[in-house]
């Protein structure tokens, strides 16, 4: 069976009778088994997926199938699916089975999507390499000696390796877009509040957003349209009407695009990526688009303010995992205090513990104003400057990552060095706006390079439309 690039190709094959949903699921199950060495799936829902495929095939015959009939989807292991395990790739939730489904899962199933399994990720979505999982690192399908990115590394790798047609991930500071760039797939982070977070295991609640990793802009647009919208179970979800992202056509008007001087001149930006990015700017100008340089003086404080705020929220969100209510409980505990201490010490990985401690510190008496309050003020400055730019320009164009995928097992004396992998992606999360990573190029070493397009809040349709144009530059 061929590697289908889009759902429309799959549905054309289904309509011609050259395949059916059960055959599709069998195909993916075989590929998952053949690529076990990449450590992408934590669990495969083989029986459930085949049962769902049989139901969808029947609906296709009767003409009652939903819009996602034929779409086989993997879920990041922090998105709840009723009756199935979910662990956030952490020992502390080992064996935990969800009692309900996330809103995004319910909306996918209503449109006859087929969910095939749960995907490895950095523990509690904390990481940029997918090496922080309690179940081992995921390997990049393009080069198994390289990381796939994180935290949605399993989701990106699954799509890149054709182990599902599309995967859901979560993006707190780039956790969809960075692995999408490293693995060579499309990664979409919607506007904050555009997609319900109900059923997503929280990391940082004012940053987290569920999005898609796909082989095509068209698939990402369709799934975003289906999972977006107000949800009574998530009071932070927006009631702004959802546009028809799936019918977004190529733009007919020339666009005004900004790129940020500090981002292009950053010493950490790989020279090859910089050259390809500048060439793209010239190509867009040659097509008649206006592409202009703008200044953004907050690059140096972007990552520090992001980590102060997200770790503060994480220390609060992860307090519920205490060895008492649910999840892992230390067998060495002998009273209440030791239950808390030992369960959390043994259940959480090093990176999660590091971020909990940092978050607790910045919220503590005497340091709250020095760190947390100051970071919130910086966030406001970032939001205001971003809004000002997007009031003048349709989009902001930037690299997705400063480099291509790095090698597995690289150790730094300073663990915060890895945080700089998020230098270009945290911007959209701090500002709360949508951003998409597009796999436009390959490096001289045959590793994917992504470019990132950022738009104004709730302007996903315009973002998808121009993304289709950018994909015509793919080489």
Q: How far is CA 291 from the centre of its chain?
A: 27
Q: Which residue has the tokens 């996602």?
A: 68
E strand or H helix that includes residue 153: helix 153-160
Q: How far is CA 36 from the centre of its chain?
A: 22
Among candidate residues 151, 170, 212, 216, the one labeled active-site is 151
Dihedrals phi, psi of 84, to nearest 5 degrees: -125, 150
Residue 339 and residue 349 in contact, taking contact as beta carbons nearer than 8 Å? no
Among candidate residues 6, 76, 146, 196, the one labeled active-site is 76
Half-sphere exposure of 215 (CA within 13 A, CB side): 20
Q: Is 305 a catalytic residue?
A: no
Supply the Cα-derived Rg of the chain in whole angstroms: 21
Task: Name the nearest CA neighbour of 473 among 426, 433, 439.
Answer: 439
Supply the DSSP symbol for 243.
P
**135 CB neighbour count, 10 Å cutoff:** 17
Q: How far is CA 73 from the centre of its chain?
A: 14
DSSP assignment of 386-439: HHHHHHH-SEEEEES-SSSPPBTT---SSGGGGGGGGTTTHHHHHHT--EEEEE
Six-digit token string for 112: 């006859």
Q: How far is CA 386 from the centre of its chain?
A: 21
Q: Is 151 a catalytic residue?
A: yes
Strands lying side by side in the sheet with 72-76? 41-44, 114-119, 72-76, 166-170, 210-214, 186-189, 435-442, 448-455, 395-399, 256-260, 290-294
**331 CB neighbour count, 10 Å cutoff:** 8
Q: Is 243 a catalytic residue?
A: no
Q: How far is CA 442 from the centre of its chain?
A: 21
Contacts of 93 (CB under 8 A, 6+ apart): 86, 87, 201, 321, 326, 327, 328
Q: Which residue has the tokens 């892992």?
A: 328
Residue 467 and residue 436 in contact, taking contact as beta carbons nearer than 8 Å? yes
Q: Quick check: helix, strand or coil at residue 291?
A: strand
Among candidate residues 6, 170, 175, 467, the one labeled active-site is 175
Q: Which residue has the tokens 């399993």?
A: 154
Cα gap 339→3, rounded to integer Å: 49
Half-sphere exposure of 391 (CA within 13 A, CB side): 6
Six-digit token string for 207: 């940053």
Catalytic residues: 76, 151, 175
């Amino acid at each position: 069976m061929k590697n289908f690039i889009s759902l429309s190709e799959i549905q054309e094959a289904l309509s011609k009778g050259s395949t059916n949903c059960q055959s599709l699921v069998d195909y993916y199950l075989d590929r998952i088994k053949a690529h076990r060495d990449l450590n992408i799936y934590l669990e495969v829902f083989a029986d459930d997926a085949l049962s769902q495929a049989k139901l969808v095939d029947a609906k296709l015959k009767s003409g009652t199938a939903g819009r996602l009939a034929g779409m086989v989807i993997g879920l990041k292991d922090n998105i709840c699916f009723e009756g199935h395990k979910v662990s956030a790739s952490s020992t502390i939730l080992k064996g935990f089975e969800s009692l309900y489904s996330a809103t995004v899962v319910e909306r996918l199933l209503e449109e006859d999507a087929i969910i095939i399994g749960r995907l490895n990720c950095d523990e509690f979505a904390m990481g940029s390499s997918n090496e922080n999982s309690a179940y081992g690192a995921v390997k990049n399908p393009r080069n198994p000696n390289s990381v796939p990115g994180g935290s949605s590394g399993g989701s990106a790798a699954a799509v890149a390796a054709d182990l599902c047609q599309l995967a859901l991930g979560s993006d707190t500071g780039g956790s969809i877009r960075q692995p999408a760039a490293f693995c060579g797939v499309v990664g979409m982070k919607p506007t904050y509040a555009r997609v319900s977070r109900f059923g997503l295991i929280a990391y940082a609640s004012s940053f987290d957003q569920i999005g898609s990793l796909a082989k095509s802009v068209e698939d990402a647009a369709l799934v975003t349209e289906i999972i977006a919208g107000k949800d009574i179970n998530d009071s932070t979800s927006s009631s702004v009407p959802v546009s028809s992202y799936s019918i977004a056509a190529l733009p007919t008007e020339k666009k005004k695009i900004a790129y940020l001087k500090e981002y292009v001149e950053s010493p950490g930006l790989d020279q090859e990526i910089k050259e390809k990015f500048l060439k793209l700017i010239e190509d867009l100008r040659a097509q008649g688009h206006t592409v202009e340089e703008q200044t953004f003086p907050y690059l140096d404080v972007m990552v520090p303010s992001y980590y102060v705020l997200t770790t503060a929220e994480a220390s609060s969100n992860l307090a519920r995992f205490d060895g008492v209510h649910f999840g892992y409980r230390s067998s060495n505990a002998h009273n209440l205090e030791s239950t808390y201490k030992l369960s959390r010490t043994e259940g959480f990985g090093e990176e999660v513990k590091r971020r909990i401690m940092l978050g607790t510190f910045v919220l503590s008496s005497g340091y709250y104003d020095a760190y947390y309050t100051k970071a919130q003020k910086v966030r406001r400055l970032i939001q205001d400057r971003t809004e000002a730019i997007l009031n003048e320009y349709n989009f902001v164009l930037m690299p997705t990552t400063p480099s291509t995928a790095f090698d597995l097992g690289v150790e730094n004396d300073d663990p915060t060095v890895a945080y700089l992998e998020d230098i270009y992606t945290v911007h959209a999360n701090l500002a709360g706006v949508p951003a998409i990573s597009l796999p436009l190029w390959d490096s001289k070493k045959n590793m994917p390079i992504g470019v990132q397009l950022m738009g104004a809040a709730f302007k996903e349709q315009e973002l998808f439309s121009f993304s289709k144009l950018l994909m015509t530059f793919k080489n």
